């Protein structure tokens, strides 16, 4: 006779089914520790270099600029045109880069960088220099509006990281973004000014102490030029000067702004004494030029 098969305990069956269910759930929902990326405290630029950086190269999206500090003055150059840079904007950028921040590792594979736009051909590359030496090189990808973070990768590292996006607005290779917009940038308090037309038929001068001069000085200090049209010798080739304004501050500095008419409107170039790093030709609106002329009581030269 054949023996009876031993019955399986209901408790063992229940235990097996519970274990199987837990295993299935573990596949669907990984543990929290595996889902959270590694994080650490770091900075894009070593804080000790924040005040030592004297040059920054930014390239991406088909544009590139070079920021350079010479004798404490920041300038920006692109395509042969050089102009005074907005020093406060540059300082804010360096401060943000030198800030100790939390960074999250999103990949340790070099092959993932292309999809994250973290290659030099797809992303925005920023290189910091001090005394001619490269002190940091970082490639930034596209900002994520949902997470509020921006991907980045340090040079020479296979890691793809991300951090709080307080940086993307600085990642511009457009020289106009970095250029100081004030026409008479670089001067202290303006104490004397003169406007004249090229043929000598009209001129007007004013100085500190004259009636109405505080308003004129304030207007000259705040007036802004337009976008860079190119560099002198090219963008202004063949354009005759029809008017000029020369402004002096109380520290012995002066700037002469020369106005030209050409195809597309009015253009202006600047000459500084002492010389300033500015060989650019800028556009300037008819309204802005009219405002300047009216400050000198010379509205008749606008047309």
Q: Is residue 29 part of a domain?
A: no
Q: CA 66 to CA 75: how far, in whole Å?
A: 8
**Domain limit, last residue, from 148, 178, 208:** 178
Q: Is residue 32 part of a domain?
A: no
Kindly give, in sequence order, each residue whose CB lies less than 8 Å from that of residue 20, ignoring residues fewer than 6 positions away: none
pLDDT value, residue 169: 95
Do residues 105 and 50 both lie within one domain? yes
Q: CA 259 to CA 63: how far, in whole Å?
A: 28
pLDDT value, residue 4: 45
Do residues 153 and 78 both lie within one domain? yes
33-51 burial, b if ≥16 CB within 10 A, otherwise e? eeeeeeeeeebbbbeebbe
Q: CA 241 to CA 238: how far, in whole Å?
A: 10
pLDDT value, residue 27: 46
Q: Is residue 1 part of a domain?
A: no
Task: Provide the token pair at 124.
Answer: 């925005």
Which of 64, 89, 261, 265 lies closest to 185, judged by CA? 89
3-state secondary structure of 289: helix
Average pLDDT of span 52-71? 96
State how many domains the chain has.
2
Q: Is residue 228 part of a domain?
A: yes
Average pLDDT of span 8-19? 61
Do residues 118 and 164 both lie within one domain? yes
Range of the domain at 266: 190-301
- Output the pTM of the full model: 0.83
Q: Is residue 154 part of a domain?
A: yes
Do residues 169 and 66 both lie within one domain? yes
Do residues 127 and 170 both lie within one domain? yes
Q: CA 54 to CA 128: how far, in whole Å?
A: 8
pLDDT value, residue 16: 57
Do residues 173 and 257 both lie within one domain? no
pLDDT value, residue 1: 39
């Amino acid at each position: 006779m054949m023996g009876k098969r031993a019955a399986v305990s209901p408790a063992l069956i229940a235990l097996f089914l519970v274990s199987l269910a837990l295993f299935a759930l573990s596949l669907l929902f990984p543990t929290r520790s595996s889902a959270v990326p590694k994080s650490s405290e770091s900075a894009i630029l070593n804080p000790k270099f924040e005040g030592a950086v004297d040059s920054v190269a930014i390239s991406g999206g088909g544009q590139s600029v070079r920021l350079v500090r010479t004798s404490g003055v920041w300038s920006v150059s692109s395509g042969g045109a050089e102009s005074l840079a907005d020093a406060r904007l540059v300082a804010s950028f360096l401060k943000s880069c030198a800030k100790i921040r939390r960074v999250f590792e999103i990949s340790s594979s070099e092959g993932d960088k292309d999809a994250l736009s973290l290659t030099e051909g797809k992303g925005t590359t920023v290189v910091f220099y001090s005394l001619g030496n490269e002190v940091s090189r970082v490639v930034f990808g596209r900002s994520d509006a949902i997470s509020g973070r921006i991907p980045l990768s340090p040079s020479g590292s296979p890691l793809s990281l991300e951090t709080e996006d307080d940086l993307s607005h600085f990642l511009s290779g457009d020289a106009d973004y970095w250029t100081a917009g004030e026409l008479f940038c670089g001067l202290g308090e303006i104490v004397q000014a003169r406007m004249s037309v090229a043929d000598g038929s009209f001129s007007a001068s004013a100085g500190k102490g004259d009636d109405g001069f505080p308003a004129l000085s304030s207007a000259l200090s705040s007036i802004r030029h337009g976008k860079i049209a190119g560099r002198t010798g090219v963008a202004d080739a063949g354009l005759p000067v029809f008017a000029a304004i020369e402004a002096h501050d109380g520290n012995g500095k002066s700037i002469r702004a020369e106005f030209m008419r050409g195809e597309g409107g009015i253009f202006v170039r600047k000459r500084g004494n002492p010389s300033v790093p500015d060989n650019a030709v800028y556009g300037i609106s008819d309204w802005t030029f009219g405002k300047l002329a009216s400050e000198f009581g010379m509205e008749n030269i606008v047309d």
